[in-house]
Amino acid sequence: MSSASRSNESVSAQNTINKRLRKHARSHSGEKLIDNEQYYHGLLPRADVRMLLKENGDFVVRTDPKLVEQRSYVLSVLADKLLDENSSIKHLVIHTASGKFWIENKYSFESPQALIAYYLTSQAQNDPTSIVHLVRPISRQSWELEHDWITIKQKSGQGAFGEVSMGIYKRKGMMKGIQVAVKQTILEKMRKEQIKEFMCEARHLKTMRHPNIVKFYGRCSSGTTLYGHGIDFGLTRAGSFYQMDMTKKVPIRWLALETLLNGSYTLKSDIWAYGIMCWEIYYSCASDPYPGMTPVEVHQKVREGYRMQIPENAHPQIEKIIQSCWLENQADRPSMADIAVQFQRVTLIARPNFEQQGKELELFGLLYIQNIQFQILNNLRVPRGRNMSNEAPKTAT
């Protein structure tokens, strides 16, 4: 098939989607929420938006962290991909009052769906005074989950931002559910900074593919409760240095000496936390680190030079590895590569081929996205013989 033919097919398929969207939107009343639309992504920060929009006219509808309480929607569209990141995307608040919705004063609509449908018409796209030109709706990604795919079973813990529970994850098409850990937090109880931090951590974790790291299946953020599935949100950051705000809730028992002293967190601070985790494994997680101590006592004792005792049944080389993780001078602590080599020598177990496994998982994710796109095309087919390309919503005023 020639590139021209493929291009024509792509344009035809997209026209089909746009036509069906226009028809679908006119049947929605103002009471109908937009949550069920594939182009609605729930709570989606700007950093995630830029990764989804590739071509001019690509758009999503989302909720902004600072607008959660008002239940306001934001239309984000790539206006000019040649501009810098801050200028290329328009973020337009969908205003609402008296049952009407609008992004510019000259037009109002009965629902957000009708608004989107109008700006997909040729009438709006050919209007030089229009505030926005929409071309392609971007559907939800494989990691953007729906709340009804998750069944909460039993609470297992409490975190700084919410509860952690055991649950079952089963999306459409799955024969059997998967047991997962679910982190839940009520959006109304979170500050804007906390929501952004939660979402940032999810963005980093969804790129991780490793058999020894708890798998991140996705997040739900279309309702009033924010869910993260199969993960533990903690101090996840991208980079080699982070200045922690010690006035906020922090996991004192896992923090390195330098973090307790001045709030700095580096890659070698991660090594310290890794040593704490190894200690927990030897004790089968029977208690928190520094048993019998309060967080205040832990803070003081570690600064004074106290280190936990290694279990007597620990292998001598493993004991040395753990102790090296807790050295006062960061430069003296081993790197993760050093630790991996030492563990191979002790266990005589070779490291698996993570690169190959990562490629296989990446291929699986690609196939899933392609399947979703096919389903959207199939569900949005327009009956034959009906031309709707020039119709505009009657709700426009």
DSSP-assigned states of every residue in 275-329: HHHHHHHHTTT-S-SSTT--HHHHHHHHHTT--PPPPTTS-HHHHHHHHHHT-SS
* pLDDT mean over 14-20: 47
Domains of the chain: 12-141+363-379 (3.30.505.10), 142-238 (3.30.200.20), 239-351 (1.10.510.10)
Q: DSSP for 226-264?
A: EEEES---SS--SSSEEE--TTS---GGG--HHHHHH-E
> What pLDDT was estimated at residue 215?
79
The string of DSSP codes covering 184-241 is EEEGGGS-HHHHHHHHHHHHHHTT---TTS----EEE-SSSEEEEES---SS--SSSE
Residue 27: pLDDT band (50, 70, 90) is very low
Q: Which of 1-15, 43-57, 99-113, 354-368 has the highest mean pLDDT?
A: 99-113
Given a cut of 90, whether residue 283 has pLDDT beyond it is: no
Residue-level pLDDT at 242: 45
Residue 357 in this model has a pLDDT that exceeds 50: yes
How far from 102 is each of 23, 109, 324, 363, 388, CA to CA, in Å? Answer: 19, 6, 61, 40, 23
Q: Which DSSP helix (H) or strand (E) runs through 167? A: strand 163-169
Higher pLDDT, 297 or 388: 297
Q: Which residue has the higher pLDDT, 384 or 344?
A: 344
- 129 pLDDT band (50/70/90 cuts)? confident
Q: What are residue 94's DSSP bridge partners?
A: 73
Q: Mean pLDDT in the chain?
A: 75
Report the pLDDT value the prediction gives residue 300, as an integer from 0 to 100.
94
pLDDT band at 31 (very low <50, low <70, confident <90, very high): very low
Q: How far is CA 108 from the centre of its chain?
A: 32
> For residue 69, what pLDDT is reported?
55
**pLDDT > 50? residue 330:** yes
Give the predicted TM-score (pTM) of the model: 0.56
